[in-house]
Amino acid sequence: MNIITVKDYDTMSKMAAGIIAAQINTKPDTVLGLATGSSPLGTYRNLIEMNQNGLVDFSKVVTFNLDEYCGLSRENPQSYYYFMMENLFKHVNIPKENIHIPNGLAKDTDEECKNYELQIKKANGVDLQLLGIGFNGHIGFNEPDDVFHNFTRRVKLTQSTIEANKRFFESADDVPRYAISMGIKTIMSARKIILVAGPEKREIIDKLREEVCTPQVPASILHYHPDCTVFWAEKE
């Protein structure tokens, strides 16, 4: 794992967008794994600008998002589907049928998770996975635990994640308690990974620098990925 300290969030976002655009320009039918949250927002803004200026074409790109809250519909402004539409998809020329986000309203969650894995497999796996990181070291919604969980499944959110994400809801009580998340093995199977983190993530990034791999810090598994770069922005 390569940890690169970047001077600020804008620079980090430009670098991440540049890597994603280069990947798409090299392989137009790239399969992207995508994250929501405040960390990748700047990256998405840059990709939108590049797409609108004709510098990157999303017409053949296929995407799989990391996760979705259980119990929220796609129309719910707090759902990750809504977030992705507002902050990336509706501004670029990606065909709607190429977008994959777990269905938080699926009647049979296990079936939905199995199906999601199958769809990723059918797409021949993820070429480039973009990640954020939780204060507790989660990636996707793979929370600290005694073991690493391999595949896409329903997860119970930790109190720390509920607290961190309540800023998007009216209160902590409104934050869903469960989500569907890609597993650690799903994430690790991506051929290339980039993780973006703002200055507020200093403590957890320092933890990653210790190079200890433990399921109590799920992102620490990335030390074993052959092509993973972490961008940490020192300032806003």
Burial class (CB in 10 A: 0-12, 13-18, 19+), 171: exposed
Selected catalytic residue, list 46, 68, 127, 138: 138
Closest CA to 65 of 186, 196, 225, 220: 186
Selected catalytic residue, list 51, 67, 117, 165: 67
| Contact predicate 208/200, CB 8 Å | no
CB of 200 to ligand F6R, least distance (A): 7
Measured CA angle at 75 (ends 41, 193), to 5 deg: 35
| Contact predicate 183/135, CB 8 Å | no
134 sits near ligand F6R (criterion: CB under 6 A): yes
Residue whose C-beta lies closest to ligand F6R = 132
The interaxial angle of helices 80-87 and 41-52, nearest 10 deg, is 40
Residue 128 three-state SS: strand
Within residues 176-215, the interface with ligand F6R by CB under 6 A covers none
| DSSP single-letter state for residue 99 | E
Q: Which is nearer to ligand F6R, 50 or 139 (CB)?
A: 139
36 sits near ligand F6R (criterion: CB under 6 A): yes
Query: Can 138 be counted among the known catalytic residues?
Result: yes
Only one of the segments 20-28, 32-40, 96-104, 146-154 lies at the binding site for ligand F6R (rule: CB under 6 A); that segment is 32-40
By CB under 6 A, name the one of 138, 149, 153, 207 that touches ligand F6R: 138
Q: Which is nearer to ligand F6R, 36 or 79 (CB)?
A: 36
Strand partners of residue 142:
139
Selected catalytic residue, list 65, 136, 142, 165: 136
Q: Which is nearer to ligand F6R, 23 or 39 (CB)?
A: 39
132 sits near ligand F6R (criterion: CB under 6 A): yes
Closest CA to 34 of 109, 92, 112: 92
CB of 160 to ligand F6R, least distance (A): 10
140 sits near ligand F6R (criterion: CB under 6 A): yes
Q: Which residues of 123-159 are buried (b: 16+ CB within 10 A; e: fewer)?
A: beebbbbbbbbbebbbbbbbbbeeebbbebbbbebbe
Q: Which is nearer to ligand F6R, 29 or 200 (CB)?
A: 200
35 sits near ligand F6R (criterion: CB under 6 A): yes
Residues in contact with ligand F6R by CB under 6 A are 35-39, 66-67, 132-134, 138-140
